Structure 1
Amino acid sequence: MLRSLSRTLLCLAAAAVVVTAPAAAQETAVVQNDAGYRINGGDLLHISVYGEQNLDKDVPVQPDGGIAFPLVGNLNARGMTLKELQGKIADNLRESQYFPNLTDNEVTVSMVKATGNSVSVVGQVKAPGTFAYDTQLDVMQALSLAGGLTPFASKSKIKILRRDQAGTQTAILFDYSDVEDGEQLEKNILLRGGDVIVVPQAGLF
């Protein structure tokens, strides 16, 4: 009886591993494979150079977006995709005297732990605020998270405020009616971490 009970407990433990392990792996893979994810302060990256054991490290992203990597020095990774950072590191290594013929594909940048991105929605929405997301988020989805537009919103003059790596801010015009009617769906762009959606009141601006 005792032996039978032990065997049953072992089977249950094995089943638990089978069920939970793929879920954790899948969650990690979503972040690592998401081309739209923008690096944030607090993220933990893994950076490696093919065939170089000394250049295979977990690299924390500082709150201001800075990272440090051997032979590369300090870089501001905040707002970059993993692919963009891969190219930047490869460029810097090529500029050194050690890896003049290095290709981008010989550098690997992956996400070990992501803090997630966030966007803010302000103005004439029912529930303005800042919303975190792990994978991808488009404009319509963000507006939905904010409760949708109020009756006083100017649908044709919504703006997405975005800063580039240099800190320069640009405004992207978004016409809610066009996308809502199924037209110009290309305007329903994927947002980047730090974007601010401004929904003005009709009759203003």
Structure 2
Amino acid sequence: MSGERGRCARRRAWFALPVALALSGCITVPPPVATVAAPSNPRAADLDHLAYAGPPSAARAAMAQVAYARADSPYRLDAGDRLRIVVYGQEGLTNSYSVDAGGAVTMPLIGTVKARGLTPAELAHAIAAKLRAGYIREPYVAAEVEAYRPFFILGEVTAPGQYPYVPNMTVESAVAIAGGFSPRAQKGSVDITRTEASGPVRATVPLGTLLKPGDTVVVSERWF
């Protein structure tokens, strides 16, 4: 009987030893750590992909870089531009002309001249060529933009609509002209549609992007 009591006492002592050591600081138990497994598909972590099922932000940035790399290219005329055309020595021809909906300007003597897609210098050359063909022997023509065609801003802004373009304007300044963002606007980036020589191009761009005349800015509604 006494032997059985001894064995029980020894078992209790061995059981109490780790508890005593832990309480005395000899045994340290690391705190629990929460871990999150990385998703098997990296695109699943991209909020753009989750919210819109579209290309991830890196791909959108690449699209914007390709679409707007030519922001400093020569200015191309289109409907809505107003030009000051000077034919030296010919006061009847020197005047302000607007590019009409068909993309042309109409002048005395020579009639319509295609302007869409041309630079002001190329348009001046085309006008001189028409004047030289039976009207003026050696015409000297200069053309410059007097007023650019407007830009458009739509979506989540206070006052969407059409506004005059100002040189070196950015998306941020365009939003300010339209009264600022609405409470539900997505403020990190916008969509811009721009007409290039190859046709309309659309890209998602940051607020510091330079605009061009005729651009259409769309401010999306945020999802959360």
TM-score by length of 2: 0.47
**Residue type matched to 1:197 in 2?**
V
**Structure 2 Cα separation of the partners of residues 164 and 151 of structure 1:** 33
Query: Following superposition of structure 1 onto structure 2, how do residues 28-39 of structure 1 map, counting pairs within 5 Å?
Result: none
Q: Is the 8 A contact 1:37 1:117 kept in 2?
A: no
Residue equivalent to 2:174: 142
Q: CA deviation at 1:74?
A: 2.9
Alignment partner, residue 45 of structure 1? 84
CA contact (8 A) 1:59 1:69 kept: no
Q: Shift of the alpha carbon at 1:86? A: 1.8
Mapping of residues 139-178 of structure 1, within 5 Å: 139-164=171-196, 168-176=199-207
Higher relative contact order (CA 8 A, sep 6+): 1
After superposition, the Cα gap between the structure-2 partners of 1:37 and 1:127, relative to the gap in structure 1 and judged at 3 Å, is: farther
Helix, strand or coil at the partner of 2:218: strand
Shift in Å at residue 132 of structure 1? 2.2
- If you compute each CA radius of gyration, which structure gives the higher value, 1 or 2? 2
Alignment root-mean-square deviation, CA: 4.2
Q: Is the 8 A contact 1:155 1:175 kept in 2?
A: no
- After superposition, residues 172-187 of structure 1 pair within 5 angstroms as 172-176=203-207, 179=208
Match of 1:66 among 104, 112, 118: 104
Q: What is the aligned-residue identity percentage? A: 23
Aligned in 2, Cα 1:62/1:119: closer, same or farther, shift over 3 Å? closer
8 A Cα contact 2:153 2:160, kept in partner: yes
- Structure 2 CA distance for partners of 1:199 and 1:118, relative to 1, 3 Å: same
Paired AA for residue 210 in structure 2: I
Gap runs ≥5 in structure 1: 1-34, 99-105, 180-187
> 1:58, CA displacement in angstroms?
2.4
Aligned equivalent of 1:189, options 200, 206, 210: 210
Q: Which residue of structure 1 lines up, in the alignment, with residue 151 of structure 2?
A: 119
Which residue of 182, 201, 205 maps to 2:221?
201
Counterpart Cα distance in 1 of 2:82 and 2:155? 30
User: Is the CA contact 1:41–1:78 (under 8 Å) kept in the aligned structure 2?
Assistant: no
| Unaligned runs of at least 5 residues, structure 2 | 1-73, 134-139
Query: Which has the higher mean CA deviation after the structures are superposed, 134-143 or 87-96?
Result: 87-96
Shift of 1:189: 0.8
Q: 1:165 to 1:128 in 2, by over 3 A?
A: same
Seen in structure 2, the aligned counterparts of structure 1 residues 163 and 155 have a Cα distance that, compared at 3 Å, is same
